[in-house]
Amino acid sequence: MPAKVYTHKEAKITPLKKKTLAVIGYGSQGHAHALNLKDSGLNVIIGLYKGSKSIRVAKRHGFEVFEVAEAVQKADVIMIGVPDMKQAEVYESEIKPNLSKGKTLLFTHGFAIHFGLIKPPRGVSVIMVAPKGPGHLVRSQFKEGKGVPALIAVLKGSSKDSKKVALSWAAGVGGARAGILETTFKEETETDLFGEQAVLCGGASALVQAGFETLVEAGYAPEMAYFECLHELKLIVDLMIESGIAGMRFSVSETAKYGDITRGPRVINANVKRSMKTVLKEIQSGKFAKDWIKEHQAGLPNYNKLLEEGEKHPIEVTGRSLRAVMPWIPKKNIKGAQASYS
């Protein structure tokens, strides 16, 4: 059954007009939510740890900044905008002791709630507002008068007005301009993790690297392999986003279409789909979450090792040299620019 799409007809910012909203963390999603809500006319404060480098930035953006505990005490709705693996620690030490009945906790991803890293007390409502895009896009689209679609969810046991609060927050960050869809913490978490692992990040990265390696090992120039397996991928994905897979096929040559529909299923075949099902089962059972928590607690040894190996892959060396001579591609130094508890 198709999900209902909410717009400005149902999503009004009125329920939040007289409330104080605290954004804990000023990273990728944190800064975007805070600025968009502020520009929507709502009262937003920022919660950061003492000595955070982001204090100066948040103040420059016109916010009152408090230490996390005080921000939680002052706020009616508290958004936890810190990374998944840091949320439980921040919650236990700074947020939980300062929660009181009637307050609302807001998450932008369901991981910590769905897998039990955070267990809110009775009397505290728990909602999710998850824009389907990175923070910089949520902010830039808002400034242009547009919006990024958003998901909302309400945890069982929350107050009866929690859905209105979630819709209001989603509208405040621009989601109602594009459409707001209702989901659950379980559905959002499991589908989000699967998409990242099997298709968007893991699947796409592995496919691109395997294609590059296949051409280079067959004696073709790495530059040619880069163009055909990575550079032109954006053109195809853009067509898919604009018109769907069928629309993309309409826009490419007959030769490309024929190769797509006859050879594509030989590469992404039943074996690949079986592997995808295994990945999904590991997410559903909690195995992935347990593995990720264990890796984080161990200091990320395998995580860092695999990332370093990826950075040394020949496709990265080839790509850096080619991008340097393509002036139309923005040059961004984004390494390490991840949202942090700041």
Active site residues: 109
The span from the CA of 225 to the CA of 240, in Å, is 22
Annotate 134-173 with b (16+ C-beta within 10 A) or e (fewer): ebeebbebbeeeebbbbbbbbbeebbeebbbbbbbbbbbb
Beta strands 125-131 and 104-107 are parallel
Annotate 242-256 with b (16+ C-beta within 10 A) or e (fewer): eeeeeebbebeeeee
* Number of neighbouring beta carbons within 10 Å of residue 332: 8
- From 253, 217, 220, select the one nearest 235 (Cα to Cα): 253
The span from the CA of 137 to the CA of 29, in Å, is 10
Give phi and psi for 301, each to the nearest 5: -65, -50
The span from the CA of 229 to the CA of 226, in Å, is 5
Instruction: Provide the terminal-to-terminal Cα distance of the chain, rounded to the nearest Å.
Output: 41
